[in-house]
Amino acid sequence: MNKYIIEFIGTFFLAFTVSLTGNPLAIGAALMVLIYMGGSVSGAHYNPAITIAVWIQKKIHSKDVGLYIVSQCLGVAMASAAFHLLYGNTRVFFLSPDVRINILKPLFIETVFTFMLTMVVLYTAVAKKNASNQYYPLAIGMTLMAAAYAGGSISGGAFNPAVGAVPIIAETVIGICSCHPINHLWLYVAGPILGATAAAVVFRFVIREEV
């Protein structure tokens, strides 16, 4: 139960930081310290795409995958609720792509930068030769920061199915905005999962003797 609680808490604060600041530096720093907090308990995934990639490496039990993802989604849902309590109907929280460009471009950004994030997670926190290092939270946090700076203006910069999709679902239920964000829900599910799965496959191929 402790690992599910940590996944909930960590994902809550990550999503809450995203909602309140939208600042890549703050988001990367938040992820870094939250990984230091929860890494020894749950592995500090805070991202369904990362959980899927770690499961592909057989580093998490199949029975835990669903509960990890539920805990992560509940954390983001709570962050959305907290944001709504703070701002009421005056502001909404959900990520959205640049609608002026072909939607395949934001999909590409979500995919390739989730690939990069997942590769860093796997090589620094999963690979046996890097076991017990103390730098992996810094590496992962800085990777998310770089990805958000590079791709945030194009795709919205989720790189996380829970952070991308759950606020859209919450906004659709609450119905404050008339902009129909549900149209982009698939983007924040498909892109990160494609990127993380591709990274997991590459990782297994490159250092298959270690996994």
10 Å CB burial of residue 139 (0-12, 13-18, 19+) is middle
Q: What is the predicted pLDDT for the residue at 14?
A: 98
Confidence (pLDDT) at 210: 56
CA distance 28 to 79: 17
pTM of the model: 0.94
CB 196 within 8 A of CB 164: no
Reply yes or no on domain 2-210 having CATH 1.20.1080.10: yes
Task: Give residue limits of the domains in the chain.
Answer: 2-210
pLDDT the model gives residue 198: 98
Rounded Cα–Cα distance for residues 8 and 5 (Å) = 5
The Cα-based distances of 81 to 35, 71, 177 in angstroms read 23, 15, 15
Instruction: Report CA torsion sign: 185, 186, 192, 197.
Output: positive
Residues in the chain: 211
Would you give per-residue pLDDT tens digits along the chain (211 residues)? 899 999 999 999 999 999 999 999 999 999 999 999 999 999 999 999 999 999 999 999 999 999 999 999 999 999 999 999 999 877 888 999 998 999 999 999 999 999 999 999 999 999 888 877 889 999 999 999 999 999 999 999 999 999 999 999 988 887 777 777 889 999 999 999 999 999 999 998 887 655 5
What pLDDT shows up at residue 42? 94
What burial letters (b/e) apply to 83-120, b meaning 16+ CB within 10 Å? bbeeeeeeebbbbbbeeeeeeeebbbbbbbbbbbbbbb
Q: Where are the strands (E) in the chain, listed by range?
A: none
